[in-house]
Structure 1
Amino acid sequence: MMTLLARGMILGLAALSLWLVVGGAGLVSLGHAAMLGIGAYAVVALDEARITEALVVAPAAIGAAALFALLTGAVALRTAGVPFIMITLAFGQMAFFTAASLAFYGGDDGYTLYARSTLAGGRWLENRLGFHYLCLALLAGAFLFCHLLLASRFGRVLRAARENPLRVQAVGFSPYPYRLLAYGIAGGMAGLAGFLLANATEFVAPSFLAWQRSGELLFMVILGGLGSPFGAVLGALALLLLEEGLGHLTPHWRLLLGPLLVLAVLFLRGGLVGLPAQLAGTRRHG
C-alpha cells in the first residue's frame, strides 16, 4: 500500500525531472509521463523474467526511459514552442497505446508485480520505513544533481539558450546538443521515478503513460514555481495534499480543485516557492 508521503516523494522526483526540461531548458513537454511509464514497464519486463534485483532493475528503468527521451528528443528538439509540445504529446500517446497493446503485460488491465524488487538480495523495499528512506535518498540525490548540473558550465549554457538561443549561437555554442542531453537526463530521472512508482503500487498500467499524467506533472512544476528545482517538489507535495484534503470534504472534490488551481496560477506569479518574496513585496508597497 503506497502512502501519501511515498507518493509525494515519487511524483516529486518525476516533477523535478520535468522541471529540468521546463525550468532549465525552457521547453514545455506534454509527453513526459511516457518516460515515467517506460521506467515502470522496465520493472514489469524484468519481473516477468524473474529479475528483481534493484541494482539491476533501477539502471534498466533509467536507461530505457533515457533512451526513449534521446530518440524522441532528437526529433522533437528540432522544433520549439507549440510544435515541440505537439510532437512530445504525439510520442507520449504512441508510448501509451503501445503499452495498452502489450497483452503479455496485461494490456489495458495492467500488470501486478509478483513482489517488490530486492536490494542486495534482501527484501528491504518490503519494509515501509526502508522504502520511504530510499525514496527520500533518491529524491535528495536528484535534487542535488540538478542543482550542481545547472551551476556547471553545461547548466549556464542551457539557461542562456533558454533566454536567447540566437545569442548563444553567436558566441559559438549550439543549443541543440545541450537541450538533447538535458532531455535525456530528465528522461532517466523520470524512469527512476517509474521504478519507484511500480514498486510502491506493485502494479503498472498504461495510465502511467497517459497525457493526463503529463499534464499533472506540468501543473506541479508551475504550481511550485519555475525559478527553482525545489519548486517542482513543493508543487507535487502541495497538489497531493490539496487533493487529499478536498477528497475528505466532498466526493465532488475535483469541482473545487479546478478553480483553486486556477486562482493559484493567477495570483502566485512565482509559484509557491516565490510566495515569501511576493508577500514581502506586498508588505513593502503596502
Structure 2
Amino acid sequence: MAKLEIRELKTWVAGLVILLFAAVPIVSVLTDQAFYMAQYSRIMIYALAAVALNLILGFGGMVSLGHALYIGIGAYGVGMLDFHGVTNGWLQLLAALGVGGLFATAIGAVVVRLKGMTFIMITLAFAQMGYFLAVTLRTYGGEDGRALSSRSQMYLLDFANPVVLYYAIFACLMATLWWVNRSITSRFGMAIRGSKSNERRMLALGFPTFRYKLAAYVISAQICVVAGFLLANLTLYASPSYMQWMVSAELIIMVILGGMFTVFGPVIGALVFLLLEEWLSNFHSASFPAFGELVNEHWLAVLGVFVIVVVLTARNGVYGYVGKRGRTP
C-alpha cells in the first residue's frame, strides 16, 4: 500500500469517528437513551485532554504525570465561582484559564529544563500538591468535592440543554485537532519536534528551545483547563479526584494506546480506553457467569494486557493498525 493511500485511509477512519461523534445526539434522541450522550461527552472531554497532552508527549518528548492538575483547575474554576454565586460561564472559564496559565507558566519554567524521570516525578509532585490543596479546601467540599447549583450560563450557549453542551464539547475537540494539525507542521511544531530529537542541534541552529517548550507546555495545560471546565459542567461536580495522578496516567495510556506520533491517535485512544472500561467493568457472561465476575473484578488487568499487546504490535497504537506503521497525522 502506498504511503499516500495509507494517509487517505487514516483520514477516512478519522472522518468516520468524527461522524460518529456528530451523530450521537441524534441516535440518543431517536432511541431515547440519554446515556449515550453523557458517555460520548465524557469520551470527547478526555480525548481533548489527551490531544493536549500529546502535544508535549508525542511531539515534544515530555512525559507529564501532572496534567490532571489542570483538569482540576478548570473544574474548580466552575465550582468555586458557582459557590460564590457567579454562574457566568465566560467569567468562570476566564478565571480558570488565568489561574491555569499562572500555574502552568511557573511549573513549566521549572520542568521543561529537565528530562527523563526527573521531569516525570516533578510534574507528578506538583499535581499531588494541587490534589492535597483541594482536599484541604473544606469550604468547597474538601475531599468529597461539591455539587454545582447549575451549569454555567454562557448566554449564547445554553449548557442546561445536554445537546448544546455536547456540541460545545465537540466543537472544542474539533478546533483543538485543527490547531494541533496545523501547528506541528509550522515553525513552532518543527522546533518542538526538533527539540525532542536533538535539542543541542536546535540550539546550535539558533532556536530558543526553552521558549518553544515552555509555550507548548502552557498551551497543553490550558487546553486541559478547558477540558476540566467542560467536565465540571457535564458532571455538575467539582472534585479533587480530577487531579489524582491516576487521571494523568490514564491520559498517557490513551495517548500511547491511540498513537502518540499522530494528531488523531489520542482521540482513538480515549474512545477505545473508555469504551473498554465501560464494557469490561459491566461484563456479563450467561454461559460462564464465574468468568464474567472475574472480568468485572479484574477489568483493569484485562485492559492492561490489551494495552501491552497494542504497544508491542503497533508502534503508533490502535491508529497504527490502519495500514502500515507510519508517522502520518
Write out aligned runs for 1:200-211 (5 A).
200-211=234-245
**What RMSD in Å do the two structures reach over aligned CA positions?**
1.6
Query: Does the 8 Å CA contact 1:66/1:186 hold for their aligned counterparts?
Result: no
Query: Does the 8 Å CA contact 1:13/1:193 hold for their aligned counterparts?
Result: yes
What do residues 81-125 of structure 1 show as CA deviations (whole Å, max 9, x unaligned)?
Answer: 111111101111111111111111101011111110011176x11
The separation in 2 between residues aligned to 1:21 and 1:175, in whole angstroms, is: 13
Write out aligned runs for 1:1-286 (5 A).
3-120=38-155, 124-249=158-283, 250=292, 251-252=296-297, 253-278=299-324
Letter in structure 1 aligned against 2:304: G
Query: Does the 8 Å CA contact 2:68/2:244 hold for their aligned counterparts?
Result: yes
Letter in structure 1 aligned against 2:248: S
Deviation at 1:279, TM superposition (A): 7.9
Who is 2:13 aligned against? none
Give me the TM-score of the superposition, normalised by structure 2. Answer: 0.81
Percentage of matched positions with identical amino acids? 42
Query: Does the 8 Å CA contact 2:112/2:214 hold for their aligned counterparts?
Result: yes
SS of the residue aligned with 2:322? helix
Moved over 4 A (4+): none
Letter in structure 1 aligned against 2:138: A
The separation in 2 between residues aligned to 1:3 and 1:121, in whole angstroms, is: 21
The separation in 1 between residues aligned to 2:191 and 2:86, in whole angstroms, is: 40
Deviation at 1:242, TM superposition (A): 0.8
Give me the TM-score of the superposition, normalised by structure 1. Answer: 0.93
SS of the residue aligned with 2:272? helix
Deviation at 1:162, TM superposition (A): 1.0
Closer, same or farther in 2 for the Cα pair 1:15/1:279, shift >3 Å? closer
Return 5+ residue gaps in structure 2 as ranges.
1-34, 284-291
The separation in 1 between residues aligned to 2:156 and 2:54, in whole angstroms, is: 34
Q: Tell me which structure has the larger Cα radius of gyration.
A: 2
Q: How many residues align?
A: 279
Return 5+ residue gaps in structure 1 as ranges.
281-286
